[in-house]
């Protein structure tokens, strides 16, 4: 089961800017892909560590460096030296437990977001942090593990779509964030299907397994809320155009992306309300079932109370009890007790007590 808060015990006492990976190691080695394009050309290749250190600054066009894996800290240090990144930014990239955020510097903008996927077995979200460095003519994207989510972006660049290649690096970052947000909708659809299945089960019957499933879904919706909610602040800042790195022509696209995030949050709130109401329904159903059981037991006890009284009276060992010598006393008592029982049941039925 995923933890809401990841351990930071190995960073206690270390100075700020110390590069320590916080979170689950999802890839043993680091894979780097370099994409370079302009209006007339496109080039893609895998990049080794030595090639990264000798990479020269590109004068024209856009350079996109995509990194998968955070296990090799020396690779991140080399990227920091190449693009003159502050050590605290590199520390934030390695801290995969932080909320989505934005940090604006003079030469670049740092943006972090959460990429989600939903695994029906074991019914949990797979949450991955993706970091972006937006520069004047470059973009660095850093993911925790292998991902094919950005493949549509690469295909669009390969096809030579004029608008994409003409626009700057800020439009590339928008496109990458747009893919992440679009993926939220598919995740919510899969998660919503699971909620509907549990909701249908509750109509037929409830069990302890149903309660465990509801609690598990509520826990997952907390992960989703924690991952998506802060992204609104990030997009709101980019939309306001407070950095020269975000062009006015891109702001309208970011505004549309902001609306999509708001829609995701509305759906998340709806699912959370449904799960809360399902929990209330389960508790009410369990309470009603217990009340029905207690009502049946109470009726049985009430029916047997006069019978117990009669049996108790004639079970006393007194000698002067003339009824004991009557020859028809035994069957008469049976008739009396059966009559009392039937009369009480008829009375309860007319009162609609059962």
Residue spans of the domains in the chain: they are 9-284, 291-350
pLDDT score of 238: 87
> Cβ distance 285 to 204 under 8 Å?
no
The average pLDDT across 167-176 equals 90
Range in 9-23, 245-259, 329-343 with the lowest mean pLDDT? 9-23
9-284 under CATH 3.40.50.720, yes or no:
no
Does residue 171 or residue 21 have the better pLDDT?
A: 171
* Cβ partners under 8 Å of residue 143, min gap 6: 66, 67, 68, 69, 115, 128, 129, 130
Answer whether residue 305 shows pLDDT above 70. yes
Q: How far is CA 289 from the centre of its chain?
A: 32
The average pLDDT across 283-311 equals 83
Angle between helices 169-204 and 248-314 (to 10 degrees): 20
Answer whether residue 15 shows pLDDT above 70. no
Query: Taking the model in full, what pTM does it have?
Result: 0.77
The average pLDDT across 75-89 equals 88
The average pLDDT across 171-194 equals 90
Give me the CATH code for the 291-350 domain, please: 1.20.58
Computed from CA positions of residues 101, 2, 24, 45, in that sequence, does the dihedral angle turn out positive or negative? negative
**291-350 has the same fold as 9-284:** no
The average pLDDT across 215-224 equals 84
Answer whether residue 94 shows pLDDT above 60. yes
57 — pLDDT class (breaks 50, 70, 90): low
């Amino acid at each position: 089961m995923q933890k809401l808060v990841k351990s930071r015990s190995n960073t206690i006492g270390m100075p700020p800017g110390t590069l320590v990976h916080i979170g689950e190691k999802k890839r043993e080695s680091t894979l780097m892909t370099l994409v370079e394009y302009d209006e007339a050309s496109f080039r893609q290749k895998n990049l080794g560590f030595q090639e990264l250190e000798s990479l020269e600054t590109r004068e024209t066009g856009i350079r996109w460096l995509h990194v998968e894996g955070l296990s090799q800290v020396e690779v991140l240090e080399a990227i920091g030296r190449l693009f003159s990144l502050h050590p605290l930014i590199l520390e934030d990239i390695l801290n995969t437990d932080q909320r989505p955020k934005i940090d604006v510097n003079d030469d670049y903008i740092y943006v972090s977001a959460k990429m989600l996927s939903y695994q029906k077995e074991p019914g949990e979200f797979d949450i991955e942090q993706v970091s972006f460095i937006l520069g004047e003519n470059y973009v660095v994207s850093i993911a925790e593990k292998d991902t094919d989510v950005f493949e549509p972006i690469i295909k669009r660049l390969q096809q030579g779509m004029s608008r994409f290649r003409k626009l700057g690096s800020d439009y590339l970052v928008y496109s990458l964030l747009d893919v992440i947000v679009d993926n939220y909708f598919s995740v919510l659809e899969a998660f919503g299907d699971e909620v509907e299945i549990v909701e249908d089960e509750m109509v037929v019957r409830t069990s302890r397994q149903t309660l465990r499933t509801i609690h598990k879904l509520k826990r997952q919706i907390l992960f989703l809320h924690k991952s998506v909610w802060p992204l609104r602040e990030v997009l709101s800042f980019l939309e306001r155009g407070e950095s020269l790195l975000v062009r006015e022509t891109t702001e309208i696209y970011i505004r549309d992306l902001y609306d999509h995030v708001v829609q995701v949050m509305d759906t998340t709130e709806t699912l959370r309300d449904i799960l809360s109401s399902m929990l209330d329904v389960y508790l009410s159903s369990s309470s009603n079932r217990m009340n029905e059981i207690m009502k049946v037991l109470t009726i049985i006890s009430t029916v047997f109370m006069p019978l117990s009284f009669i049996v108790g009276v004639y079970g006393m060992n007194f000698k002067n009890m003339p009824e004991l010598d009557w020859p028809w006393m035994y069957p008469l008592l049976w008739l009396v007790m059966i009559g009392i029982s039937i009369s009480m049941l008829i009375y309860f039925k007319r009162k609609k007590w059962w």
